[in-house]
Amino acid sequence: MSWIGKISRVGRIVEPAHDAPEPTVAPPTGVTGSLQLRHVDCGSCNGCELEITGAFSAVYDAERFGVRVVASPRHADGLIATGVVTRNMHQPLLNTLKAVPEPRVVIAVGDCAIDGGGFTEGYGVVGSVADVIPVDVTVPGCPPTPQQIIDALRTVTGR
């Protein structure tokens, strides 16, 4: 049995999609059903990055809901930020936000990005992402599951 034959017999295996959640924010103007996001790690422990990677893996397949992560902020419709904003990442976060064309959406993933988590009082911490830039959508959890991340993304795309 060849591996191509097995793939054609088994078919696509992904987690089943839940019903579309209610929209939490209007998608940026011109974004209908798809969303290109630029990810910025502002100083996280990489737990949220692992879950974001899981959300875009073959198992959860966030791209089937019209969401992609892009390499350049100039190609993005929004920003997905994780972790507390450290002093070293404060200016790069602001530069990345400035490079994303308006109108844009900002998504804070994880407790640290929302309220600083356990790192709020750290000497190298400026604050949470919400303290530094305006946030439209939050995904609570430490770290949030891939399904929670996808649900939040679907509230923006409407798919």
Q: What is the tens place of the pLDDT at every residue in 124-158?
A: 999 999 999 999 899 999 889 999 999 899 888 87
pTM over 0.75: yes
Say if residues 113 and 83 touch (Cβ distance below 8 Å).
yes
Strand pairing of 67-69 and 137-139? unpaired
CA distance 145 to 15: 13
CA distance 138 to 105: 11
CATH number of 36-157: 3.40.50.12280
CA distance 33 to 96: 23
Q: Which residues pair with 11 in a beta bridge?
A: none
